[in-house]
Structure 1
Amino acid sequence: MAQHKSAKKRIKTSEKKRLRNKAAISKVKTLIKKVYETEDKATAEKILKEATKVIDKTAAKGRIHKNNAARKKSALTKHINKLTVSEKAE
């Protein structure tokens, strides 16, 4: 256990930061799942817009790496485009 006052403070601040990061990453994952579960293109695009916004904010604050954010957005966009193609084929 920490003995110094500064070390005790560091434990408290680290825990707050960990919980904040965990909540942000959880929100990103939830929105990504929503996009993949949606079959309707219009609804999926609306959720994609919200997901992109949250992913960008999370990356800007350093909670996820910017390349990780770009990869997630790219995969989601590809998925939306596949929905468009499958609707035209039918």
Structure 2
Amino acid sequence: MANHKSSLKRIRANETRRIRNRYYAKTMRNAVRKFRALDNKAEASEKLPGLISMIDKLAKKTIIHKNKAGNLKSKLTRLVNKMA
């Protein structure tokens, strides 16, 4: 167990951040899952900018890697373009 006050605070802060990051990442994954289930191109085109914004914000905070964000955005955009 840590002995210094700063170490104890760091442990508490890390745990708080870990929980918050997991919440944001899970929220994003659920949003992507719901987006992929859409079959209407108009609705998907309408929701795509909001989802891309969410992904960019998580990449900016380094909750997800910037390359993963790019890959996700690319795949989701291709999905919308491929819809009939």
Q: 4+ runs of 1 displaced by more than 4 Å? A: none
**Number of aligned residue pairs:** 84
Q: Deviation string for 1:23-57 (max 9, x for gaps)?
A: 11112101111111000111112221111000001
The answer to which structure, 1 or 2, has the higher relative contact order (CA under 8 A, 6+ apart) is 2
Whichever of the two has the greater Rg, that structure is 1
Structure 1 distance, partners of 2:54, 2:44, is 15
TM-score (normalised: structure 1): 0.86
TM-score (normalised: structure 2): 0.92
**Structure 2 unmatched ranges of 5 or more:** none
RMSD, aligned α-carbons: 1.0
Residue 38 of structure 1 pairs with residue 38 of structure 2: yes
Query: Which letter does structure 1 place at the counterpart of 2:64?
Result: I
User: Identity rate of aligned residues, in percent?
Assistant: 39
**Structure 1 unmatched ranges of 5 or more:** none
